[in-house]
Structure formats: structure tokens, C-alpha cells
Amino acid sequence: MRRPSESRPSSRLEILLPGGGDLLPREMLWLYPIVPLAAAPLLLKDLFSLPLDTALVRIAGVYVPFLAHSFVFHALYAAVLPKVVPRVRAPLARGALHVVVTIAVPMLLAPLVLSFKRRIVPGHYDLPKFVLECIIISWVYLFPALIVQRLRNKAQNIERMAQLERQAALEAQLKALQGRTNPHFFFNSINTVASLIHDDPALAERTLERMADLFRYALDSSKTRFVTLRREVEMVRDYLAIQSARYGARLRTQVELDERAAEILVPPLILQPLVENAILHGMAHRRSGSVFVCIRHEGHRVSLEVLDDGPGPFASAHRGSQTSVEDICKRLHLLYGEQGGIALSAAPGGGCLARVAIPVKDVVA
């Protein structure tokens, strides 16, 4: 996975001008040396009838003004105008700004460029006519380039905004699904503590301390989308300790954590609901039961397994809200797509096996 949250662009400029504020296509750098050569037959009469050395000198004369203006325009549109254009809100005003720039630059450069051109191709040149030609040529290649880049920026802007909207929807769905999971966890855990108060007050007190840690973990889970597997397993061990205090020797539990998977990031409260279900369904109308939790690192994914020795999938006498597995499935799909999932199956020796597959990715909490 892409990092859990992508920050929004800090300003409208970053959206409208992606890639460092480009106003001209970067491909223009490749066109500058090609366009004068392609346009030479149109600008120079009888070019192909001239001797080769004369034709090359005439083509060099075309290159001088074109490259000089192109260099100045590209420098302006790469370094200066990206800071000015976003401040001009009205489209007509922006268009007028581009017209002014494309007129002012040839007028300022024309005397210097024409002087240099005379050294390469001697002859009589009319300065006003030369300025007009430079302005027209600048418009011919500059305005289409501005339009192309504007359309490209607009398309990138639409794509980026759509991505931000999808991300916002994803975050909203995750928070909503976590909101459904957390109250379910609180309700069942409080009932567990309540059942201990009358039988063993001292044990109830110790259990309440564990409950405080669980409540803190559940509250913190609404503020972050990922925790380490080590932290998730610690919370599960606290939960199992509370349930063991309630059921005593009737409940047997075991938790195994592959150290290679301990620091991998997973959604919070992804394992606890499965352990809770295993106890509720596995112990329903039974004198004893066992729950075995195993976390293994399997190459490009992590396997989280919760095994109980109860009646098996969909055969339990306990009828809950049946939302825990559905919510986990949705959360995994939102976060990992087809790479993450949950499966319930009958265990080989009887009981139910809940298995969660999570891809191993570099995710920052």
C-alpha cells in the first residue's frame, strides 16, 4: 500500500500547476532545435536551390532569433510566470498577460538579436518588420504550447481531486466501520467485568485495570489506522486474561506470535473481534472450550488464525449481531483490495478456524 494518508495539496497552485508549476510542456526543450529546421523552407525563399554552404548560413540565421527568443521565453515561463499567473484570476487577464509577454520579449530582444544575425547573414533588415516576424513566430509555437499544458494541468487536477475524494471516502468508511467495531467490543467486555464483581471483587479489580488498558487501546484505535501486530497481540492477551478470569479453568487459551511479523502494521481491532467470537460461540452452552491464536509470517503476507474447538461455523447456539466478521471483511477490502481477506472454515478436528490474510507492505502508522 500507497502510505495511509496522503496530505492534501497545500495550495491551489500545487493542483493547477503540478510538476513544479510548469506552464509550458517539458517536451518544448526537444522542439526548440527542430522547429527552425522544419520552418526554414517556409521562411527562406528558394532554399533548396542555394548552394549548400549558403543554405546552411541562411538556416543558421533562422536559428539565431528563434533560439534566443525560445531561451528567454522558457526561462520566464519556468521561473518567473508560475509565481505570477496564479495571482491573475480572470481568464481574460491571464490571456492578456501572455500576449503582453510575447510582444514585449521580441521588442526588447530584437535589436540585439538582429545585430548578431547581421554578423552571420549580412544584409539589410527592417527592424519593425523583424520584430513583427518574431512576434508572429512566438505566437505560432507558444500559444498552442500554453493551451496544451493548460489542458494537461486541468486533467491532472481532475485526476488528483478524484484521488483525494476516493481517499476521503475510504477514510470515512474506515472510521465508520471502526465505530461499529469499538462499541461492540466495549459492550461485551463490560459485561465480562460485571459478571466478576459479585464472585471475586479482588479479581474484578485486577480485571478492571486490564479493562482500562483495553479502553485506552480502543479509544486510540479511532485516531490511527494502523498498529503493530505486537501491540494488537498484547491487547488480545489482555482480553483473554479477562475472559480467563471469568471462565477459570473452563477456558484454555494459547497465543503464538511469529517475531518476524511482530512489527508489521495492521488495522487496530482486527484480531480481537475474532477472538471474542471464538469465545462467545465456542463456549456457548458448553462446559469448557479452548481458543488458539497463531500469527505467522508467510513471505509476502501475514496469516492471523483464531481456532476454537466449538461447534463450527454457523452451528453455534449463540446468536450475536453477526457484524464483526462482516466489518473486518470490509475493512480488509478497503485497505488491501483483493490482497487481503478473511475466511471461516471448519477446523479439521472440529470447531471453527478464522483466518485473516494481510499483505506485507511498508505502511506508516
Q: Is the dihedral of CA 144, 145, 147, 148 positive or negative?
A: positive
Domain termination residue (choose one: 111, 145, 163) = 163
- Overall average pLDDT of the 102-120 stretch: 82
241 or 21: which carries more pLDDT confidence? Answer: 241
Same domain, 157 and 280: no
Same domain, 208 and 86: no
Indicate the residue type of 168. Answer: A
Q: Which domain, by its residues, includes 138? A: 12-163
Same domain, 147 and 224: no
What percent of the chain lies above the pLDDT cut of 90?
16
Same domain, 204 and 283: yes
User: Is residue 16 included in any domain, yes or no?
Assistant: yes
- Overall average pLDDT of the 349-363 stretch: 82
Distance CA 62, CA 251 (A): 91
User: Is residue 189 included in any domain, yes or no?
Assistant: no
User: Is residue 224 included in any domain, yes or no?
Assistant: yes
The total number of structural domains in the chain stands at 2
Same domain, 224 and 300: yes
Distance CA 334, CA 260 (A): 25
User: Is residue 176 included in any domain, yes or no?
Assistant: no
- Per-residue pLDDT band for 184 (boundaries 50, 70, 90) equals low
pLDDT the model gives residue 3: 36
Same domain, 281 and 221: yes
Same domain, 19 and 143: yes
Same domain, 137 and 208: no
User: Is residue 112 included in any domain, yes or no?
Assistant: yes
pLDDT the model gives residue 43: 67
Question: Which of 59-68, 153-162, 277-286, 315-324 shows the lowest mean pLDDT across its residues?
Answer: 315-324
The answer to whether the CB of 227 falls within 8 A of the CB of 265 is yes
What CATH number did the domain enclosing 275 receive? 3.30.565.10
Distance CA 39, CA 59 (A): 9
Report the candidate in 298, 296, 279 with the shortest Cα–Cα distance to residue 288.
279
207 or 100: which carries more pLDDT confidence? Answer: 100
pLDDT the model gives residue 292: 95
- Find the length of the chain: 365
- Overall average pLDDT of the 258-266 stretch: 93
Same domain, 44 and 95: yes
Residues 6+ apart with CB under 8 A from 254: 290, 291, 292, 293
Report the candidate in 301, 302, 169 with the shortest Cα–Cα distance to residue 232.
302
Domain termination residue (choose one: 163, 189, 220) = 163
pLDDT the model gives residue 14: 38
Strand partners, 254: 292
Give pTM, 2 decimals.
0.53
Q: What is the 3-state secondary structure (H, E, C) of 234-299?
A: HHHHHHHHHHHHHHHHHEEEEEEECHHHCCCEECCCCCHHHHHHHHHHHCCCCCCEEEEEEEEEEC
216 or 295: which carries more pLDDT confidence? Answer: 295
- Per-residue pLDDT band for 357 (boundaries 50, 70, 90) equals very high
Q: Is the dihedral of CA 154, 160, 163, 164 positive or negative?
A: negative
Same domain, 21 and 146: yes
Phi, psi of 362 (to 5 degrees): -85, 100
Distance CA 57, CA 26 (A): 29
